[in-house]
């Protein structure tokens, strides 16, 4: 087996669990906040759950991560099947749309910081002699990075991403309709952005948030990196 391909398989093995956790928590956050604003659509559809099988999308959860592995993209990327949301059921349309849209990326940002705290506990109190020490450390760091990457990607103002819905919550009817018209081309735009490496500008913010989260963890637990 080619050594580089073996490394990609190892990368996917380390990142697959935090990847699934990140996308499931993202969708769960949307559904939970939607319920808080009066929309029970996700709940009634059985999608307000942490069961990964309920959120698997053939393209975003299976095909795209496999393409990641084959092409050597260093951070596993993809998405889950969006939870069904009906904004007309919100108690107040615009604030409901805003907070439900923010909930997904917000959940990932919170999870990224929580993952850093778990990393801190593990790094300080578990010795390197533990057989799974290095793989678990890598998995935790991957969890931090994946959550921040998913949050920032979803904040792009391209429908149906959360950034577009956040923007829509501030727009008038005509402008919202124009923005929604872009959605028919969104899949092709996203694939082009991914494969052209145009999203490299997200690396800076992802790196900043990762170092910030690890720095907070380091300050709390008082450990120092070797």
What's the CA angle centered on 148, arms 91 and 137, to 5 degrees? 130
Dist. CA 212–CA 149, nearest whole Å = 14
The answer to whether residues 183 and 160 touch, using CB atoms and an 8 Å cutoff, is yes
**With 80 as the cut, is the pLDDT of residue 225 above it?**
no
Q: Using the predicted structure, report yes or no on whether residue 122 has a pLDDT greater than 60.
A: yes
Residue 150 has pLDDT above 60, yes or no: yes
pTM score of the predicted model: 0.91
User: What are 7-24's pLDDT values in tens digits?
Assistant: 777 888 889 899 999 999
Model confidence over 46-81: pLDDT tens digits? 999 999 989 998 888 888 787 777 766 777 777 889
CA atoms within 13 A on the CB side of 176: 11
Assess whether the previous peptide bond of 9 is cis (omega < 30° from 0): no
The answer to whether the beta carbons of residues 119 and 144 sit under 8 Å apart is: yes
If one compares 5 and 123, the residue with the highest pLDDT of the two is 123
Flag whether pLDDT at 1 surpasses 60: no
Question: Which residues, other chains included, contact 138 with Cβ-Cβ below 8 Å and sequence gap of 6+?
Answer: 14
- What does the block give as tokens for 190? 């996203």
Distance CA(15)–CA(95), nearest Å, equals 35
Residues with a catalytic annotation lie at: 27
pLDDT of the residue at 197: 79
Tell which residue, 156, 33, 154, 32, has the closest CA to residue 96: 33
The full set of domain ranges for the chain reads 3-221
Rg (CA), the chain: 19
Summarised one tens digit per residue, pLDDT across range 25-50 is 999 999 999 999 999 999 999 999 99
Predicted pLDDT of residue 179: 86
What are the tens digits of pLDDT across the range 160-199? 899 999 999 998 888 888 888 888 888 888 878 877 878 8
């Amino acid at each position: 087996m080619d050594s580089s391909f073996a490394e990609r398989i190892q990368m996917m093995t380390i990142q697959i669990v935090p990847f699934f956790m990140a996308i499931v928590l993202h969708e769960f956050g949307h559904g939970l906040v939607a319920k808080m604003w009066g929309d029970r659509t996700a709940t009634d559809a059985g999608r307000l759950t942490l069961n990964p099988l309920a959120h698997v999308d053939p393209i975003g959860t299976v095909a795209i991560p496999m393409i990641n592995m084959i092409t050597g993209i260093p951070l596993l990327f993809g998405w889950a099947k969006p939870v069904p949301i009906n904004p007309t059921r919100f108690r107040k349309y615009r604030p409901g749309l805003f907070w439900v849209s923010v909930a997904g990326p917000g959940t990932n940002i919170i999870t990224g910081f929580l993952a850093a705290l778990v990393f801190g506990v593990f790094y300080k109190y578990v010795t390197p002699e533990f057989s799974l020490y290095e793989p678990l450390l890598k998995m935790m760091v991957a969890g931090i990075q994946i959550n921040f990457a998913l949050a920032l990607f979803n904040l792009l103002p391209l429908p149906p991403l959360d950034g577009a819905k956040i923007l829509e919550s501030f727009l008038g009817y005509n402008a919202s309709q124009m923005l929604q018209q872009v959605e028919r081309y969104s899949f092709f735009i996203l694939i082009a952005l991914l494969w052209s490496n145009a999203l490299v500008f997200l690396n800076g913010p992802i790196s900043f948030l990762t170092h910030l989260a690890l720095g907070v963890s380091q300050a709390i637990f008082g450990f120092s990196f070797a």
